[in-house]
Amino acid sequence: MTKANHDASGVHGGFAFGHGYGYAPEPPMQQQQPAYDFAGGNLQGVQMAPLPLPIPVHQQHHQMQAMQQQQQQQVQTAAYRDPATGPLRKLSVDLIKTYKSINEMYYKKKRRMKEPPAAPASNNAAAAPASNNAAAAPATVNVVGNSAAVGGGGGGGGGVNLTADDAPPAAQQNKRDKKAVYNDGYDDQNHDYVVRPGELWLDRYEVDSLIGKGSFGQVVKAYDYQEQQYVAIKIIKNKKPFLNQAQIEVRLLEMMNQYPEASSFVVRLRRHFMFRSHLFLVFELLSYNLYDLLRNTNFRGVSLNLTRKFAQQLCAALEFLSRSDLQIIHSDLKPENILLVNPKRSTIKIIDFGSSCQYHSKIYQYIQSRFYRSPEVLMGIDYGLAIDTWSLACILVEMHTGEPLFAGQNEFDQMMKIVEVLGMPPKHIIEMGKKSGKYFERLPDGSYQPKRPPSAESGGNGAGSRRPVTYRPPGTRLLRDLLGCDQGGPGGRRNGEAGHSPADYHRFLDLVARMLEYDPRQRLRPHEAMQHRFFRRESAAGEQQQQQQAAVAAAAAAAGSSAVPSSMVTSTVL
């Protein structure tokens, strides 16, 4: 039946409605494979009821009565189904709508990619990204109602003033997403922005997916149509404390962006803006973090050669942060905050300066992730740049062994695990700490010993655990044994591998041990670490020569000879 005939005959109440022929029951419909007309959006191929044959006029009255009785019986015995809502027709129509919607979205995105970026409207002039060189001064935030603008103190806004055009269809959004309950339907109950893939921000950034979440907010992968590349966008929670800390992060990142060499060590902040009461930070998109890399090794660790490459880059990064005109303390170095630039290369960058500060403007005392927390922070001693060096040493050991060096379940357990490896802290360090009494007790002779663990903190078995815990005596869990310096690496897994000789391991041990000094003033500084012999590439012949020189020096020292040059003694391999 053609569309014209269908329109002429009509379908009503399950019967064909003809012209001058009265009513007649519709014969059963014959099913056949549907054919779809995607171009026109029509449904073809569904066989409809044929037109009834003419009925004599004198029989119409009796026919009508019989038909009505039959119809009443059918209504009583079975529920009536409208052909327009039948499964086959409904499924076909819905399928057509779905394909049309997909096509529209696809070609709309394709057109948008080809079009040049439009100039911003006058009322959105503040949406222009702030200059990377303009925000050495602290960023400021002005909030009026639901509108906010953020910008560097120097010039160039870097923010967005929300207007009436930005008002969301709150009722519609809440119906679509029940999580959106705050900020006119844009935020969830945790004051995080409700991320919707495919959403377009500022006619420039299209959301691809959510790639991270933390206490600060979220990180999404998005496509930048103006730059024609993917970026990572950090969306700060819509809460004032998080906004204030994010302002500090922006200021520090823009300070670092003034130096060309920063791009080799630190993730690049491209721009930032306020949107729907959230601060958005646009970063370059990087690859996996070092924890992901460890997980891919089944936590067996990476080679000493790769560990060396990471160590050299991280020492250079800390040297950059410690320069006199920056003096930036990262405060949260850990494998998750160190990312590969390319998954097939060893180049890395440091991310997440959300807890960072400058040495002269420290804010918080409770900082650093527990496994990488320095003794001065644990004991409540004034801290400085050296806390990042401590964290770096812990990271390097973990990258090679596959396991955290000090995996404490709480602060007491963390301190005791440090003492097991490094021994007791010096007396003057303990007496400087405001929280030292939490871990150590003074003996009558003036010395200190570890306290017994409280029952609720026994062994890190969880809060409320009553099983007592025992720790090894201070300094008896040797770092050299953890690294497997004389056993072919951790668990003997690197035995016989090139670049994993005892000499290589002893150099690594010396570097890490100097980074793990209790006294931060004695801890190896980044520029000193860069000169460490662990980073010198030496041949096997060179190693053998050093060992021979060491033997000569030891023999001369035993004989009391003073003829051995001091340079020969300093080249002794540990």
Helices H / strands E in the chain, number of each: 16, 18
Same domain, yes or no, for 71 and 165?
no
Q: Which residues are annotated as a binding site?
A: 234
Catalytic residue among 224, 332, 352, 388: 332
CA–CA distance, 508 with 502 (Å, rounded to integer): 10
Percentage of residues of the chain with pLDDT beyond 70: 60
Same domain, yes or no, for 379 and 436?
yes
Residue 63 lies in a domain: yes
Q: How confident is the model at residue 364 (pLDDT cuts 50, 70, 90)?
A: confident
Residues 339, 351 contacting (CB under 8 angstroms) = yes
Taking alpha carbons only, the member of 466, 461, 463, 420 closest to residue 439 is: 420
Instruction: Please say which residue of 256, 284, 312 terminates a domain.
Output: 284
Residue 115 lies in a domain: no
Judged against a pLDDT cut of 70, whether residue 178 lies above it is answered with no
Instruction: Please say which residue of 110, 140, 155 terminates a domain.
Output: 110
pTM over 0.85? The answer is no
Range 40-49 average pLDDT = 41
CA–CA distance, 186 with 179 (Å, rounded to integer): 9
E-state strands within 341-498: 348-350, 357-358, 440-442, 448-450
Residue 466 lies in a domain: yes
- We report the CATH number of the domain holding residue 434 as 1.10.510.10
Q: Is 499 left (phi over 0), alpha (psi -120 to 50) or beta?
A: left
- What's the chain's length in residues? 574
Same domain, yes or no, for 278 and 302?
no
Cβ-proximal residues to 323 (8 Å cutoff; 6+ apart), any chain: none
The string of pLDDT tens digits covering residues 414-435 is 999 999 999 999 999 999 999 9
Same domain, yes or no, for 355 and 411?
yes
Q: What are the residue ranges of helices labelled H in 273-426?
A: 290-296, 304-321, 375-379, 386-401, 411-422
For 24-86, give the secondary structure using H, E and C: CECCCCCCCCCEEECCCCEEECCCCCCCCCCCCHHHHHHHHHHHHHHHHHHHHHCCCCCHHHC
Judged against a pLDDT cut of 50, whether residue 438 lies above it is answered with yes
Indicate the DSSP class of residue 45.
-
Judged against a pLDDT cut of 50, whether residue 128 lies above it is answered with no
292 catalytically annotated = no
Q: How confident is the model at residue 363 (pLDDT cuts 50, 70, 90)?
A: confident
pLDDT value, residue 17: 36
Same domain, yes or no, for 387 and 494?
yes
The string of pLDDT tens digits covering residues 293-348 is 999 999 999 999 999 999 999 999 999 999 999 999 999 999 999 999 999 999 99
CA–CA distance, 353 with 333 (Å, rounded to integer): 9
495: tokens are 């035995």
Range 358-375 average pLDDT = 95
Q: Which residues are annotated as a binding site for ATP?
A: 234
Residue 12 lies in a domain: yes
Residue given tokens 């057109």 in the structure block: 111
Of the candidate ranges 276-290, 378-392, 415-429, 555-569, the one whose mean pLDDT is the lowest:
555-569
Q: How confident is the model at residue 181 (pLDDT cuts 50, 70, 90)?
A: confident
CA–CA distance, 490 with 397 (Å, rounded to integer): 10
Taking alpha carbons only, the member of 461, 438, 237, 252 closest to residue 357 is: 252
The string of pLDDT tens digits covering residues 59-111 is 555 566 566 666 655 545 444 555 555 666 666 666 677 666 666 666 666 66
Residues 450, 471 contacting (CB under 8 angstroms) = yes
Residue 21 lies in a domain: yes
Q: Is 538 left (phi over 0), alpha (psi -120 to 50) or beta?
A: beta
Q: Please report, in angstroms and rounded to a whole number, the separation of the first and last CA atoms in the chain.
A: 94
Same domain, yes or no, for 305 and 430?
yes
If you write DSSP's letter for every residue of 149-168 in order, what string do you get?
EEE-SSS--------GGG--
In terms of Cβ atoms closer than 10 Å to its own Cβ (0-12, 13-18, 19+), residue 215 is exposed
Dihedrals phi, psi of 440, to nearest 5 degrees: -130, 150
Same domain, yes or no, for 423 and 318?
yes
If you write DSSP's letter for every residue of 278-292 in order, what string do you get?
EEEEEEE----BHHH
Same domain, yes or no, for 549 and 497?
no
pLDDT value, residue 96: 72
> What average pLDDT does the structure give for the chain?
77
Same domain, yes or no, for 219 and 240?
yes
pLDDT value, residue 92: 65
Residue given tokens 């109950």 in the structure block: 189
Cβ-proximal residues to 474 (8 Å cutoff; 6+ apart), any chain: 419, 420, 423, 424, 450
Residue 339 lies in a domain: yes
Taking alpha carbons only, the member of 104, 93, 88 closest to residue 41 is: 93
311: tokens are 């160590």
Residues 304, 505 contacting (CB under 8 angstroms) = yes
Same domain, yes or no, for 75 and 151?
no
CA–CA distance, 489 with 480 (Å, rounded to integer): 10
Dihedrals phi, psi of 362, to nearest 5 degrees: -75, 140
Number of domains in the chain: 4
Residue 219 lies in a domain: yes
Name the residue range of residue 217's domain.
122-284
What is the maximal distance between C-alpha atoms in the chain? 141
Judged against a pLDDT cut of 60, whether residue 375 lies above it is answered with yes
Same domain, yes or no, for 105 and 128?
no
Cβ-proximal residues to 276 (8 Å cutoff; 6+ apart), any chain: 146, 162, 166, 168, 183, 186, 193
Per mean pLDDT, which of 106-120, 166-180, 512-526 is the most reliable?
Answer: 512-526
Instruction: Please say which residue of 250, 284, 318 terminates a domain.
Output: 284
pLDDT value, residue 144: 31
Return the ∠ at Cα 572 (arms to 568 and 574), rounded to 5°.
Answer: 170
Same domain, yes or no, for 276 and 136?
yes
Residue 117 lies in a domain: no
